[in-house]
A and B are shown apart, each in its own frame.
Chain A
Amino acid sequence: DVKVTQSSRYLVKRTGEKVFLECVQDMDHENMFWYRQDPGLGLRLIYFSYDVKMKEKGDIPEGYSVSREKKERFSLILESASTNQTSMYLCASKTGPNTEAFFGQGTRLTVV
């Protein structure tokens, strides 16, 4: 089975801190995604990557950056955490363009 693992289930960080969310997949997928999920807004795409060292902005990239140095790992970075970044963050991976995505269990981040 495909496994997508996010490094933390719950995180509490202070305003202004630099925050790293890590995601690792074990199925050699080319494509990886970071979303945030908020009630009433569904999932919104922050960044995605279709290859190592490649990244593309999604709908809401402001305040975030990403890193993909290895194929299996896709990191989301909050440069300076703010309270409006309190959310559930979901990582996903997939192979080709019309295939289903496999999701991690999510990281619930609270910024205080």
Chain B
Amino acid sequence: GAGVSQTPSNKVTEKGKYVELRCDPISGHTALYWYRQSLGQGPEFLIYFQGTGAADDSGLPNDRFFAVRPEGSVSTLKIQRTERGDSAVYLCASGREHTDTQYFGPGTRLTVL
């Protein structure tokens, strides 16, 4: 079956621009997670959805970042007024409710010039 997919695979933008990153979870997975991975680091948690609601958004670095999952499936991570420090790989993962197994997508590599 299909795994987690993320689009685009690469995104280059200019400082100050707005970007949207999309995640399609595995069908039937109610839990969805966003992580950010900087070069040479492990993934860092951003936000976790259970269904349509954000159950934990404690990892979002500031109010320029927000994410939605309006129908409990696809999620979009939105970054306003991008800064060079936002450059990283943004990973999405999904999982079944009450399981610790998270299945990761290939990520979106964001470069802010």
Indicate whether A and B interact.
Answer: no
